[in-house]
A and B are shown apart, each in its own frame.
Chain A
């Protein structure tokens, strides 16, 4: 990582000096995958000074909320089908 970092800083300096382009989105490592780190920035964030250090429990809250809503809606639908009357608050 360190070596890489030093190299990319050196490369960045060269680029600025020579006016060579940095990340311009046209060098693709696979179809639909053309991202490159900018000169001086890490390719992987984990362990770098830009590591977002996301809390896995927080990251899962979106999906949990959607699952709960889907379950409640399914109950509403089942109740409406069984009774012929729609009711929002179904336990």
Chain B
């Protein structure tokens, strides 16, 4: 929170409600400006400042939970303390809500101004619930989508959530549409096509509202979709910029000084030269994970996904700029830096994971950082102003694909024994394609300066096969077997507290299944998370000790949120198992290699949970 307060006094003074605190004259000016804005007399820049200010103000008010990341740092850290480590044992169900939909429920609800906004998997229904009377649905938006779109979703028909901004709710649909709804009435304000399912392109990602823009990602690298990120004008859906993950520099939208601070990361021309021929046209790199944003730098941070196909032999080269951490100017979309984590991916380590921002004294100086636990088993920390690589630590010592990290060159040192290639079945690769960390939205404990990770402990065998590319059809080309990391008592997950400063884990706790949905940390010294076998749990942020758990109707693949209403703190979480680990259970698959190899790994899951869909809300 400090970073925001420190970094934005000018914005605060300019247009926010706090102008009243300055001088009466300023307050009058601000008031007049607002009236003009409401009347549509000012557009562009002024409106921009207002939108940012509103979300920054909402993020500082811990009674609200106005974006998936909680704040632009995507810290998932709440300052609320009513529920704390002394009394969490008394936490009880306050109210519940069924979404009326099965399949995996990812993300979390939003709470803005006393209203909770709930989203569902396909067909992506949105519900608004008045917290004064949660028994009644205020409004709902139920899109009509062609059922055929389900066939091109790689990993269950999930969706990671809604975004709020300027009195509107923004949502993505599996059929590729982006919709803006009036937050008060649910009425459609605009609706645009971002992705075309006929070429295998879908949407599962939550939008992010920044400045006067809505940022939208892409999905479908398992069907050879070339990834792109798009900014739409929040007001009317106008496309402002679109940047691709592969191809010519003009499509990549590179700034003139792209990677100037770290030229060894690579600069111009690599979006095509690190591919053979036109393979970049179906090269993957979709971004369906999370973003982070620094309003003082005006830079957007996110990760691009895996190259296509999974068969590495069919795409020689580093395959830039898939698998990269991007920093883009939010107004123009131009990339200031990109850092490729996994050059020439051979394991489907889609680099789209959570990015958490922090400001810490590391290596003797206070730095603006971004931290990113990747699928490939490495936790990266970069200086987010320069792009400099600060840390690259293994999430767990059992990571074997890389022997270590060449910090000077900024590349992983691969162990050829765990590479994949045609005419070869690779065995015992750690992590598996599901990664040691996947889509879970993790948290940064601002009090302790610790990252709280929910991780996976899954390894694999992998054998590629040749296949043709046909638009709209799966383009994977590998057969996988996945299983719990050997020597870990069959446990497939962990929760752990990581300190960037020391590269050490303060505590680590095992979980039976992968901790898929992420974590949320509070000033009440608690770490909350859900589990695939259907628990919501709270651990002590200092020790990791389990302080409370409750058995939900179904497994969890989303994240907890916490808010305050009428003086009372609540913790809310979706239940409804699914996503990639749930595909066996959801689609009744038994072949262990089905579901891109997840069915075998999670065969025991159905002994613990069944499908569901809804939310449970807890209070003292």
Contacts and interface: CB of A to CB of B under 8 A. Distances in A.
B279 A52 contact: yes
Interface in B233-286: 236-239, 263-267, 270, 273-274, 276-279, 281-282
A52 B326 CA distance: 30
B201 interface: yes
Contact of B266 (A33, A37, A43): A33
Interface residues of B, number: 62
Interface in B309-346: 313-314, 316-318, 320, 340, 343-344
B228 A54 contact: no
Nearest to B410: A32
Interface in B159-173: none
B270 A32 contact: yes
Interface in B187-229: 188-196, 198-199, 201, 224-226, 228
B415 interface: yes
A86 to B, nearest CB: 5
A66 interface: yes
A76 B191 CA distance: 9
A22 interface: yes
Nearest to B223: A62
A54 B469 contact: yes
A10 to B, nearest CB: 17
Contacts of B422: 41, 50
B226 A62 contact: yes
A81 interface: yes
Nearest to A22: B416
Interface in A29-65: 30-35, 37-38, 41-46, 50, 52-56, 58-63, 65
Contact of A24 (B279, B340, B414): B414
A80 interface: yes
Contact of B419 (A38, A55, A86): A38
Interface string A20-31: 011111101011
A65 B277 contact: no
A5 interface: no
B151 interface: no
B155 interface: no
Given A26-B411, A54-B469, A37 B316 contact: yes
Contacts of B195: 69
Most buried by B among A33, A38, A62, A70: A62
Interface of A is mostly: loop
A82 to B, nearest CB: 12
B320 A32 contact: yes
Contacts of B62: none
Contact of A32 (B196, B264, B276, B403): B264
Contact of A62 (B201, B274, B411): B201
A59 B194 contact: no
A43 to B, nearest CB: 7
Nearest to B191: A88
A52 B265 CA distance: 29
A77 interface: yes
Contact of A35 (B277, B314, B316, B471): B316
A42 B317 CA distance: 12
Contact of A52 (B236, B344, B403, B469): B469
A49 to B, nearest CB: 9
Nearest to A73: B192
A45 B276 CA distance: 8
B468 interface: yes
Given A23-B414, A86-B189, A60 B281 contact: yes
Given A58-B471, A62-B471, A73 B239 contact: yes
B277 to A, nearest CB: 7
Given A62-B282, A65-B198, A73-B193, A34 B314 contact: no
B200 to A, nearest CB: 8
B421 A25 contact: no
B413 interface: yes
A72 B145 CA distance: 18
Nearest to A68: B196
A38 B419 CA distance: 9
A24 B190 contact: no
20 contacts: A23-B419, A25-B344, A31-B263, A32-B264, A32-B274, A32-B318, A32-B320, A33-B270, A34-B318, A35-B316, A35-B344, A37-B316, A50-B422, A61-B471, A61-B472, A73-B192, A73-B193, A77-B237, A80-B236, A80-B237
Interface of A: 21-26, 28, 30-35, 37-38, 41-46, 50, 52-56, 58-63, 65-66, 68-70, 72-74, 76-77, 80-81, 86, 88
Given A25-B412, A70-B239, 14 more contacts: A25-B413, A28-B411, A56-B278, A58-B470, A62-B225, A62-B226, A62-B281, A62-B282, A63-B226, A65-B196, A65-B201, A68-B196, A73-B192, A86-B191
